[in-house]
Amino acid sequence: MLVEGPAPASCGVMREAMLSLLLLVACQREPASLGVYRSGPNAIAKGSRAEPVRVWGTGGTQLRVPTAGAAGTVLLGEAGPLWIVDRDVPAPAKAPPVAAAMVESAGFRMKGLLVPADTAPLVAGAAAPDAAKSGGVYVRSVVKVRQDKAPPIYIVTATGDEVGAGAYAGPADVRKGENCKAAVGLLDSKGEVLLSAVLLTGATRTCAVPMVVPPVDRDGDGVLDVLVHGQNGTGGFRSWFRIDGTTLVAGPEDVWETIP
C-alpha cells in the first residue's frame, strides 16, 4: 500500500519559484488594446482611463487627458496618435525618398503573396497608371531603412484582391474589394529579393489599406520596431513588427472592426 506523506520542502520552494516566474511574465506582457484610432475629430481608444495617457505617433510622445467616450472607450483629444506607450518614444525620422523603380520592384515581389496564381494576365502592352500598381498589386508604402555597417533594406506594404486590385484597370485604393488580403515585407537593397513577409490579418479583416510609420526603437532594447496601421471607415488595425536583421517578427496587434 502506498502512503502519501507531506511533500518535500524542495517541492514547496520549486512551486513558489514557478509562481514567481509566472507572475513576472504576466507583469511584463504588454496589455491588449493599446491602439489609438480616429473617430470623427477625436482620437479614440478602448478601455476606461482617468489619468493622463501617454500616446505616441508621428509627432513623437505626448500626454493626453482622457474624456469619456462611447461605452468602453475614452477620447484623447485631436486625432492622430497611433499607440499608447508607457515611456517616451522618439518621433520617427522622416523617411528618405524612394525611387519609382523600387516601388515597381516592390509590387512584383509582393504579388506572389497577394494575387492568386490563376489570376488572368494583364493585357499585353497596357501602360501601368503609376509605379504603385505596375506589379499587379497596390503598393501603399515603401520605406527605406538605413542599417549600421550593412546595406539598406526596404519595408513594403501592399494589398490586392482576387482580380489583382491595383492592376492596370484596378481601383486606386483597395477598401471594398472582394478579398482585401494585405501583407508587409522586407526587400533587399536592390529590391530584388523579398527577405521576409507577413500577411496582415487585421488589414484583411477590416479591408484597410496598410501604411508604414518609419521605424523607431519602441521599447529601448536597441532593435528597430515598425508600426503598420490602417483605417477603413469604422474598422482599423495597428500591428507592430520587430526588424530582426532581415526578418520581420510580429509583435503586439490591435484590431477594431467597429470604431464608434
Model pLDDT, residue 170: 45
**Dihedrals φ, ψ of 103, to 5°?**
-65, -45
Model pLDDT, residue 152: 94
Ranking 52-61, 65-74, 119-128, 228-237 by mean pLDDT, the lowest is 119-128
Model pLDDT, residue 112: 86
CB 157 within 8 Å of CB 139: yes
Model pLDDT, residue 126: 57
In 3D space, the residue among 151, 141, 236 whose CA is nearest the CA of residue 192 turns out to be 151
What is the secondary structure of 182-241 as a DSSP string? EEEEEE-TTS--EEEEEE-HHHHHHTPPPEEEEEE-SSSSS--EEEEEEEETTEEEEEEE
Read off the DSSP letter of residue 9: H
Q: Does residue 184 surpass a pLDDT of 50?
A: yes
Q: Does residue 55 surpass a pLDDT of 80?
A: yes
* Structure-model confidence comparison of residues 84 and 159, the more confident one: 84
Q: Mean pLDDT, the chain, as a whole number? A: 81
**What is the value of pTM for the model shown?**
0.81
Model pLDDT, residue 171: 47
Percent of the chain predicted with pLDDT > 90: 52
Residue type, 212: V
In 3D space, the residue among 179, 45, 159 whose CA is nearest the CA of residue 107 turns out to be 159
Ranges of each domain in the chain:
36-84, 100-120+128-256
CB 43 within 8 Å of CB 77: yes
pLDDT-derived band at 237, boundaries 50, 70, 90 = very high
pLDDT-derived band at 169, boundaries 50, 70, 90 = very low
Model pLDDT, residue 122: 53
Ranking 119-133, 164-178, 193-207 by mean pLDDT, the lowest is 164-178
